[in-house]
Structure 1
Amino acid sequence: MKKKYVLVGTGGRAEFFYGAMVRDFQETCSLIAFCDTNQTRLDYANQLLVEKYDVEKIRTYKADQFDEMIQAENPDIVIVTSVDRTHHRYIIRAMELGCDVITEKPMTVDEEKTQAILDAIERTGKQVRVTFNYRYAPHNTKIRELIRDGAIGEVNSVHFEWALDTQHGADYFRRWHRDKRNSGGLLVHKSTHHFDLVNFWLDTTPDTVYATGGLHFYGKENAERRGETNFYQRAYGSEHAKNDPFAIDLEANEHLKSMYLDAEKEDGYQRDQSVFGDGISIEDTLGVIVTYKNNAILTYSLNAYLPWEGFMIAFNGSKGRIEVQVREQSYINSGGDKSDEGKLDEKVIRVLPMFGEPYEVEVKEGKGGHGGGDPVLLNDLFGKPAEDEFNRAASHIDGAVSILTGIAGNHSLRTGQAVKVDDLVDF
């Protein structure tokens, strides 16, 4: 029997879900309605359904009609892909109205909203799934397997460095994410993936978090300090922005134009704000130390303005070490151009036994995003899930524990003190 779905928030991330549903899971899913604050974006999502996926339009509702939509459409599951600070509102209300929920990460942005979601789950008995696609990437699953099977014994420490490049990383400083009230900053919005991976790999949960960092590259004050003077509020209509590698031209991309530029008339949201303008309240340079319930420690860093994208990680165990390097972006900004695509891609997992010969681990990838991991996640959500020895499907507990690491980090940034995660919420 098909399950009925509605989706809230038709921005950039939404199509990952609804596109898969109407393309690959028609036997198990029925997408019946969209909901958003902006009618232009709702209409564009419907346009994509017709023109890209060759299916019929579905009904649309404005955000203030959410209850009306649930009552009229009677869905089984609500998919939440709205701005992060609104996730809790739709998650909680959907459960109160009798629906299960699938939510984009992060589940929410602070401990009060996290507690409200946990309380609503307890009160309603409904389910919340959090979509951690990084768990499903084959190299990340292989790391879990190696640690589980004792390749380096008991893991005592992890060093994890995440690099965001000047295409992807800069984008967080153009969009709504640049306001920490919307996203919880990169420690919540982005690092929730990474903190979840550590929980997943080590099969443990965080105990204490200490964080430091700040806005060191983006923002008007940093640009002025470096002697840069051509500031603009946004790329649209700016002569200064035409040759600026940090600007994005919405008019040059029909998809972005239709989703954002054409929708501005309704809500004034500007997708192409200057990364060197005012109004940025998130950090771009971060360092975190986490201790875990199993006594392992994590040293973690994130920088959002680097010449390449991906991560380097080392696991230090009682029987050896695992070293990992993953370059995620095919375009390397360091003197490169589009002709460099693919040349520097790499995913390397190297095991160094304490008293044995080092060896590299082969990882078999599949078709689709994240090395074939995205299709597996989507099948878990919308299809007929296969048995999974690695338990990659993330529950609301997984979603809460991952964001609480970042939330604790935000508290530590403000106070300069280490923060106990268990002091933030009651499970």
Structure 2
Amino acid sequence: MSREKNQSKKRYVLVGTGGRAEFFYKHLVTDFKETSELVGFCDINQTRLAYANELLQNRYGYKAVPLYLSNQFDEMIATEKPDVVIVTTVDRTHHHYIIRALELGCDVITEKPMTTDAEKCQEIIDAVNTTGKNVRVAFNYRYAPHNTKIRELIMNDTIGEVYSVHFEWALDTQHGADYFRRWHRDKANSGGLLVHKSTHHFDLVNFWLGTAPKTVYAAGGLRFYGRENAESRGVTEFYQRAHGSELAKADPFAIQLEENGHLKALYLDAEKDDGYQRDQSVFGDGINIEDTLAVTVTYQNKAVLTYSLNAYLPWEGYIVSFNGSKGRIEVRIREQSYINSGGDKADEGAIQERSITVLPMFGSPYEVEVTEGEGGHGGGDPLLLRDLFDKPREDEFQRAASHVDGAMSILTGIAGNMSLQTGQAVQVDGLIDFQRRD
């Protein structure tokens, strides 16, 4: 039986109740409860669905919502009549729920990356063009005050026309290793780090420079993690997953799910429903994504990017340099690392060290002050959530990311993956037809 809509509130359902989902629904039912209503959860896993409902009630004081298995997605839309579907599933299934939600008359908010390959991306573009509905991509990095400040500096012609960017992203042995324990370790699920993680970084360059990628060349491989690298790391005895393994107790890369109540409820207790193991060994079999990557990108405005990502370093954060016709900007951000969906993280993306230095062509260097707000990513997360769930506001920096922004960010990584396979540079133009209708 379908529910009647409360016209005073926008109705939301969420599909994919894993670790990233809570970021959205906890704020939806607390900070935005006056204008928003959560009316349903959907997942492949019944145990995880029940746990999400438990969190809603016991942690956030919200009512229990109807629960639907993934094969009941259409039924959920027909019954609950949502205005918006929030998609936080495994990356490889984003396109399925995005497209079906659009076809059933809903707008969509999706976690990044929008999808994992060019074919799925084209299907999403076709569905948007055919239905006329909207897709928003949750790029929280755009809203971090230091990243917004960089865009402001470039928009204001501080260093003139930007000719080149050097961007180095460091993932540490806590956060970086986590991608090699989880479903992300299979490129079919995540598109590899060039798509799953680097989509943030490639989007930032598009956002900062106001341009889009034209040509991409990539190199790299699995150099640190994986069974093939275990011996060089001093690993001679193997386990496939940490739970129940004596070997894992002495492994600094292992995660013990049973020692964290949240992780235990979200994953270990839910294994009986779908068999997913959240705590696989980073030196086990089955890893086919890269941990060491270098990318060169030429943009439509003729700027060039040199980019690197390494997933096993002693600190986490990034160093970016912009070279322009009137000078240079140097950025260094050291982030507090965390384990996704649990652990002891107090403030996801908290900043431990930050500096933005402008070096004018014929002037003295100076530091740029940045005002940090409350909440994750230096106060960026609350700004993103307000943009997603509150009334639209004017934004001179145009941080809201559409399906086109989502596509242009992943196309850099998708082209990078193609280049890894062929050893050749890949032209981004032609991968997607943004005008086509299915």
TM-score normalised according to structure 1 size? 0.96
- Secondary structure of the 1:305 match is strand
- Secondary structure of the 1:45 match is helix
> Distance between the aligned counterparts of 2:250 and 2:215, measured in 1?
45
Structure 1 pair 226/254, CA: closer, same or farther in 2 (3 Å)?
closer
> Distance between the aligned counterparts of 1:141 and 1:374, measured in 2?
13
The answer for the alignment partner of 1:105 in structure 2 is 112
| 2:13 aligned to which of 3, 6, 16 | 6
> Distance between the aligned counterparts of 1:114 and 1:420, measured in 2?
16
The answer for the alignment partner of 1:285 in structure 2 is 292
> Distance between the aligned counterparts of 1:373 and 1:344, measured in 2?
11
> Distance between the aligned counterparts of 2:165 and 2:296, measured in 1?
10
- Secondary structure of the 2:302 match is coil
The answer for the alignment partner of 1:250 in structure 2 is 257
> Distance between the aligned counterparts of 1:110 and 1:224, measured in 2?
33
Match runs of 1:224-303 below 5 Å: 224-303=231-310
CA contact (8 A) 1:314 1:322 kept: yes
The answer for the alignment partner of 1:324 in structure 2 is 331
> Distance between the aligned counterparts of 2:393 and 2:408, measured in 1?
25
Equivalent position amino acid for 1:63 in 2: S
Equivalent position amino acid for 1:8 in 2: V
CA contact (8 A) 1:330 1:344 kept: no
Per the TM alignment, residue 230 of structure 1 is displaced from its structure 2 partner at its CA by 2.2
> Does 2:84 match 1:77?
yes
Per the TM alignment, residue 224 of structure 1 is displaced from its structure 2 partner at its CA by 2.1
Per the TM alignment, residue 374 of structure 1 is displaced from its structure 2 partner at its CA by 0.4
Over residues 269-327 of structure 1, what are the superposed CA-to-partner deviations in whole Å (9 max), with x where a residue is unaligned?
A: 00000000000010000000000000000000000000000000100000000000000
Per the TM alignment, residue 228 of structure 1 is displaced from its structure 2 partner at its CA by 1.8
Match runs of 1:82-161 below 5 Å: 82-161=89-168
Equivalent position amino acid for 2:123 in 1: A
Over residues 351-407 of structure 1, what are the superposed CA-to-partner deviations in whole Å (9 max), with x where a residue is unaligned?
A: 000100000000000000000010010011111233211000000000000000000
| 2:201 aligned to which of 194, 209, 223 | 194
> Distance between the aligned counterparts of 2:351 and 2:194, measured in 1?
27
> Does 2:413 match 1:406?
yes
> Distance between the aligned counterparts of 2:194 and 2:314, measured in 1?
20
CA contact (8 A) 1:209 1:290 kept: yes
The answer for the alignment partner of 2:319 in structure 1 is 312
> Distance between the aligned counterparts of 1:59 and 1:287, measured in 2?
45
Over residues 37-80 of structure 1, what are the superposed CA-to-partner deviations in whole Å (9 max), with x where a residue is unaligned?
A: 00000000000011100111100000000011111111100000
- Secondary structure of the 1:35 match is strand
Equivalent position amino acid for 1:375 in 2: P
- Secondary structure of the 1:146 match is helix
- Secondary structure of the 2:230 match is helix
> Distance between the aligned counterparts of 1:204 and 1:177, measured in 2?
29
CA contact (8 A) 2:335 2:350 kept: no
- Secondary structure of the 2:273 match is helix
> Distance between the aligned counterparts of 1:265 and 1:227, measured in 2?
34
The answer for the alignment partner of 2:191 in structure 1 is 184
The answer for the alignment partner of 1:208 in structure 2 is 215
> Does 2:366 match 1:359?
yes
The answer for the alignment partner of 1:48 in structure 2 is 55
> Does 2:227 match 1:220?
yes
> Distance between the aligned counterparts of 1:408 and 1:361, measured in 2?
35
> Does 2:197 match 1:170?
no
> Distance between the aligned counterparts of 2:236 and 2:59, measured in 1?
43
> Distance between the aligned counterparts of 1:166 and 1:343, measured in 2?
17
> Distance between the aligned counterparts of 2:351 and 2:307, measured in 1?
24
Structure 1 pair 327/124, CA: closer, same or farther in 2 (3 Å)?
same
Per the TM alignment, residue 345 of structure 1 is displaced from its structure 2 partner at its CA by 1.8
Cα-Cα RMSD? 1.4
> Distance between the aligned counterparts of 1:75 and 1:259, measured in 2?
25
Equivalent position amino acid for 2:253 in 1: F
> Distance between the aligned counterparts of 1:115 and 1:320, measured in 2?
39
CA contact (8 A) 1:330 1:345 kept: no
> Distance between the aligned counterparts of 1:330 and 1:206, measured in 2?
29
The answer for the alignment partner of 2:75 in structure 1 is 68
Equivalent position amino acid for 2:319 in 1: M
CA contact (8 A) 1:6 1:31 kept: yes
Residues matched between the structures, number: 418
> Distance between the aligned counterparts of 1:90 and 1:277, measured in 2?
31
Structure 1 pair 343/425, CA: closer, same or farther in 2 (3 Å)?
closer
Unaligned runs of 5+ in 1: 332-337
Over residues 108-141 of structure 1, what are the superposed CA-to-partner deviations in whole Å (9 max), with x where a residue is unaligned?
A: 0000000000000011111000000000000000
Runs of 4+ with >4 A deviation: none
TM-score normalised according to structure 2 size? 0.94
The answer for the alignment partner of 1:381 in structure 2 is 388
> Distance between the aligned counterparts of 2:233 and 2:81, measured in 1?
56
> Does 2:38 match 1:31?
yes
CA contact (8 A) 2:350 2:378 kept: no
Structure 1 pair 181/330, CA: closer, same or farther in 2 (3 Å)?
closer
